[in-house]
Amino acid sequence: MKRTLLLLVVITNLLAASSACLAESRPRYGGSVRILLRHKVTSLDPLSESDDPATRDRVAGLMFETLTQIDAEGHTRAKLASAWQADAGNRDWIFTLRQASFHDHSEINSASVAASLRSVSPDWKITVNSQQTFTIETPSPAPHLPELLALPRYAIIKRLPGDVLLGTGPYTLAEWQPGEHVLLAANDDYWNGRPFPDSIDFRTGLSLREHLLERNLTLDHAAEPSPDQLRSLEQANQTLLLSRPADMLLVFFPEPGAKPRKAVDPRLREALSSAINRATINNVLLQRKGVPAGGLLPQWLTGWEFLFPASQDMERGRRLRADANSTQPLSLIYDSSDPVMKMVAERIAVDAREAGILVQTFGDPHSNSRSGRATLNADAILLRVALSSLDATAALTELADELALPADTVSAIVKASRPEELVEIERSALADYRLVPVVRLPQALWLNSNVHEWQQLPNGEWRLDQLWVEGSR
């Protein structure tokens, strides 16, 4: 209580000065925007492994651009591609490029785009038709290809020797200390006009709490608070951006692979799912900032998550546990760098115990990355997965990739042209209880009052195209 009060007082005092700003509405050029990121960014390559891909993509997205993008209304818009069209079977897609340059001032053309896309999807046949047009032929129909191409991993990148990556975006890389600091400078030759700020300075692996205690938050323009700080910030009338509940926390039972690990009985997995009190986790631990999760995609995005119930059924849990006749304890690993994950994992263990399942929780700082969890010898892992797209097909494709779902599942998602097909894919992916959705959380952002036109999409993505800050010209 004392700590919360202290935090509130510090916030109020420190930030009161920054709230007294001048009014204006037209954007201003200049200034450096300083952003604190909770997670460390150890690589800027959208194809690299990362503990928190969403954070990496926030930084990388300002340098590397995709052919298309999905706007805040959910519409697919042109980006590096100015136009596209598909054949009747949705397998052959012809794209036309706009005039744009990489950061080394070389023009983008069909050949450079084809080389970039081939490194992501080697099974696509890409034909260069002219300097500005090319054709992508997919192995099976891909009715949502433009939406898929808006995913960060399809960013158009010119790869030079020495791991030098060049993009076409509004900012160029000026300085980089992996895991600590990324400084981006405005690209004066950007095809869509030079951005307003002169630079963006990302400080990574820093929490808002640390900066509050250091009393230097007035220098920052944006920071990511943790859920337990939201109430204090709201009470201090600070500007908070909350996305829709987009990040999914789920219990993931890995396939027993190379590790000497016995597969968990499917009835025990279902028993655990039935025992979890998702409503309490949301209401108590997450202070009602999230929603219980039953499906892979959120209700607000699809409107059909209600088809996958998330209510607790302890009786069923006990019955299934008795049927499984297993007294072996289940190990559940969570990301130890995220305090929310620890709380949720411990609560799951409490619920499981009530159903007669012994769950032992362990923390690990790299359990959220694919390579990190491959090294873990655990029965289950509590994962936090961001919603990477506002298009259901693209979001489910990325989720399937992140959770290493079978290739035929990914192929079925790409081929799906109707929502009913995606429902069936979700249903079959959840049927064996290897994936047990628990709860969804919003992404939160604190903004200084001198920051303008910071756009947060419903899934938590940032759009900083029109960002500008006061005190600059």
**Residue ranges in 142-181 that form contacts with other proteins under rule CB under 8 A:** none
267 forms part of the interface with other proteins (CB under 8 A): no
Minimum CB separation from other proteins for residue 39, in Å?
26
Contacts of 82 (CB under 8 A, 6+ apart): 96, 97, 98
- Give the footprint of other proteins on residues 53-92 (CB under 8 A): 71, 73-74
Other C-beta atoms closer than 10 Å to the C-beta of 8 total: 16
Q: Any contact of residue 107 with other proteins (CB under 8 A)? A: no
User: Residue 92 and residue 138: Cα distance in Å, rounded?
Assistant: 7
Distance, in Å, from the CA atom of 188 to the CA atom of 447, rounded to the nearest integer, reads 26
Of residues 352-391, which lie at the interface with other proteins (CB under 8 A)? Answer: none
The residue within the footprint of other proteins, chosen from 83, 306, 377, 428 (CB under 8 A), is: 306
Residues 57 and 74: their CA atoms lie apart, in Å, by 19
- Fill in the DSSP letter of residue 294: -
Beta bridge partners of 96: 83, 133
Residue 443 and residue 384 in contact, taking contact as beta carbons nearer than 8 Å? no
| Pairing, β 32-37 against β 199-204 | parallel
Judged by beta carbon, residue 175 or residue 453, the one nearer other proteins is 453
Q: How far is the CB of 25 from other proteins (least distance, A)?
A: 4
Q: Which is nearer to other proteins, 82 or 326 (CB)?
A: 82
Binding track, positions 419-458, relative to other proteins; x by CB under 8 A: xx--xx---------------------------xx----x
Restricted to residues 391-420, the positions that interact with other proteins (CB under 8 A) are: 418-420
Counting residues that bind other proteins (by CB under 8 A) gives 46
Q: Which two tokens mark 138?
A: 């997919």
Q: CB of 298: closest distance to other proteins in angstroms? A: 9
Check residue 309 for interaction with other proteins (CB under 8 A).
Answer: yes
* Span interacting with other proteins, options 40-48, 153-161, 172-180, 191-199, rule CB under 8 A: 191-199
Q: Which stretch binds other proteins (CB under 8 A): 130-138, 205-213, 306-314, 347-355?
A: 306-314
- 311 binding other proteins? (CB under 8 A): yes
230 vs 291, beta carbon nearer other proteins: 291
Q: Which residues contact 288 (CB under 8 A, 6 or more apart)?
A: 282
Helical segments of 122-171, H only: 145-148
CB of 64 to other proteins, least distance (A): 19
Report helix, strand or coil for 8.
Answer: helix
Helices then strands, each counted (H, E), the chain: 15, 25
> Does 104 contact other proteins by CB under 8 A?
no
**10 to 49, contacts with other proteins by CB under 8 A?**
21-29
Rounded Cα–Cα distance for residues 387 and 248 (Å): 8
Q: Choose which of 169, 195, 295, 317 interacts with other proteins (CB under 8 A).
A: 195
Q: How far is CA 190 from CA 102, 186, 465, in A?
A: 9, 8, 11
Alpha helix segments (H runs only) across 286-364: 299-302, 314-324, 339-354
HSE-up of 122 (CA within 13 Å, CB side)?
1
Task: Identify which of residues 216 and 237 has a Cβ nearer to other proteins in the complex.
Answer: 237
The least CB distance from residue 469 to other proteins, in Å, is 12
Amino acid (one-letter) located at 343: M
CA-CA-CA-CA torsion for 230, 385, 79, 449, nearest 10 degrees? Answer: 10
The region of 129-137, 299-307, 333-341, 381-389 touching other proteins under the rule CB under 8 A is 299-307
Q: Which chain residues interact with other proteins by CB under 8 A?
A: 21-29, 71, 73-74, 189-196, 244, 279, 291-292, 299-304, 306-307, 309-311, 418-420, 423-424, 452-453, 458, 466, 470, 473
